[in-house]
Structure 1
Amino acid sequence: MERILEDEYRMLSRLACDKIRGYVSDNRLKAGDRLPTERALAEQLEVSRPVIREALGTLEALGLIVKRQGKGIFLKEPNFTVLFHEMMGVWQQDEKNAGQVLQFRVLLEQAAVTPIIEHADDADYERLHALIDESEREGLSHSDFIKLDYRFHSELLGLTRNVLFIQLTDVVNKYFHWAETSNRTDRSIDGIQRTVRQHREIVRSLQAKDKEGAERLLKAHLAGEG
């Protein structure tokens, strides 16, 4: 009986979340706008205050709203990083998902090629080349090379000028760390040299606006080929 009541409460909380989102949409509210108080929302949406409180807690945990003491409840800019981190956290618990996570990463970076070609300028490419140059610095430690590798792909996705791609960068970096700690990434001298060479080839293809070439190089690079 207790379990049934708990499930019903969760269902009501989810419904309340949907109603709050509907309220936001119907009233064309945007980031920075203030929501009504808990009491007002409960009355307007015809839901009990405890359920509204639970729903608001869920929305806050997802980074969709922020509660400011003495000021009220405000909408935030959507940030999908929290959601993707939660998803990755679940997937990383099963090594059988590794192949699908890699496939997701390949598709993500390949999809970034077109907007990068459309939006990136000379200064952007110079910044990528500088990162590659730094990764070839003599005496560079293994951990510093990994950080530069992370930065390269983060900068690459950032060139899309697409907020979603930029937010996903954090998730992609998390995969890098997962792959490295699981010994899926070749960090021998030959492996490092191959990574550097592939980074340069990818940037050159993007500069040349060679979409198919850049996509092919990214796939081979992320799959550890070449």
Structure 2
Amino acid sequence: MRIQKASLKNIVIERIKNYISENNLKPNDKFLTEKMLTEQLKVSRTVVREALISLQAVGILMIKPGGGIYIADTKLGSIHTILKHHYETYGVKIRELVEIRKILELGALRLIIEKQVPLDIDQLKEINESYHQTIKNNEDTKKFDRLFHQSLIKATDNATFFNFSEIIHEYFSLVKIDLIENQEALIRSYEQHNEIVDAIRDNDLVHAQKTMTDHFEPIFTFIKQMEEES
């Protein structure tokens, strides 16, 4: 586990939030376009898009397909502000955050299976294969791992649940901690993703949740070691 420097996406997120504050933008005000942000911030459109998606997820922006970007009119943004303030004031226990994320993902599996939500199995498999490819190429795996879990939460067909999950993820990202795993562990993670998808397809909630629990075990083990050493 290591402390990471702020990513380019996070830097863009902070600059966008500063721009909103400095210009006193209000809910439903139209925001800058992707192209304008790319030119002003001197970063790629991919980075800008990822930052915008994150800001939409935590209730700061609202992206209307084909209709532009607006300042969101939602109370979820204030929840994120409260969480950020709590982190900056009191700090946070990593174990507690991981426990929350585990509860959310186990709950997502239950919602998907119990509600019989139509799931795009092929899309999830495709994302996981991209994850597998980054493992084999010894590239950064976080993007596709994050996308896989994000897609599961989104598949609950519950917008409030998804937004809350994104807020918790943003809160988790504030600590900028990353578990470094070897290739064998990453391959096991890839296999667990496939097991989870197959269990959802078979409506096997018990197996899906057990596999997800196993999926979280490496980080809990690492946290325990850190707690014992401190």
TM-score (norm 2): 0.55
1:214 aligned onto 2:211: no
> What's 1:131 paired with?
127
| Of 147, 157, 160, the match for 2:156 | 160
Partner SS, residue 133 of structure 2? coil
| CA-to-aligned-CA distance 1:183-215 (integer Å, 9 cap, x gap) | 4x2432112111101111111111111111111
Paired with 2:217 and 2:118, the residues of 1 have a C-alpha distance of 28
* Residue 223 (structure 1) shift: 2.8
1:151 aligned onto 2:115: no
The question of whether the paired residues in 2 share the 8 Å contact of 1:81 and 1:170 is answered with no
The question of whether the paired residues in 1 share the 8 Å contact of 2:196 and 2:208 is answered with yes
> What's 1:199 paired with?
193
Report how many residues are paired.
Answer: 152
Instruction: Give 1:217's aligned amino acid.
Output: T
The question of whether the paired residues in 2 share the 8 Å contact of 1:119 and 1:160 is answered with no
Sort the Cα spacing of 1:140 and 1:175 in 2 relative to 1 into closer, same or farther, 3 A: farther
Sort the Cα spacing of 1:140 and 1:115 in 2 relative to 1 into closer, same or farther, 3 A: same
> What's 1:104 paired with?
100
Partner SS, residue 130 of structure 1? helix
> What's 1:114 paired with?
110
Sort the Cα spacing of 1:127 and 1:176 in 2 relative to 1 into closer, same or farther, 3 A: farther
* Residue 84 (structure 1) shift: 3.8
* Residue 170 (structure 1) shift: 2.1
Sort the Cα spacing of 1:200 and 1:175 in 2 relative to 1 into closer, same or farther, 3 A: farther
> What's 1:190 paired with?
184
Pair member with larger Rg? 1
> What's 2:83 paired with?
87
> What's 1:44 paired with?
none
The question of whether the paired residues in 1 share the 8 Å contact of 2:154 and 2:162 is answered with yes
- Greater relative CO (CA pairs within 8 A, separation 6+): 2
Paired with 2:81 and 2:143, the residues of 1 have a C-alpha distance of 19
Instruction: Give 1:203's aligned amino acid.
Output: V
Structure 2 unaligned blocks of 5 or more:
1-27, 29-57, 61-71, 222-230
Sort the Cα spacing of 1:112 and 1:63 in 2 relative to 1 into closer, same or farther, 3 A: closer
Instruction: Give 1:167's aligned amino acid.
Output: N
Structure 1 unaligned blocks of 5 or more:
1-31, 33-61, 65-75
Stretch moving more, 79-88 or 95-104: 79-88
Paired with 2:164 and 2:195, the residues of 1 have a C-alpha distance of 23
Paired with 1:192 and 1:155, the residues of 2 have a C-alpha distance of 19
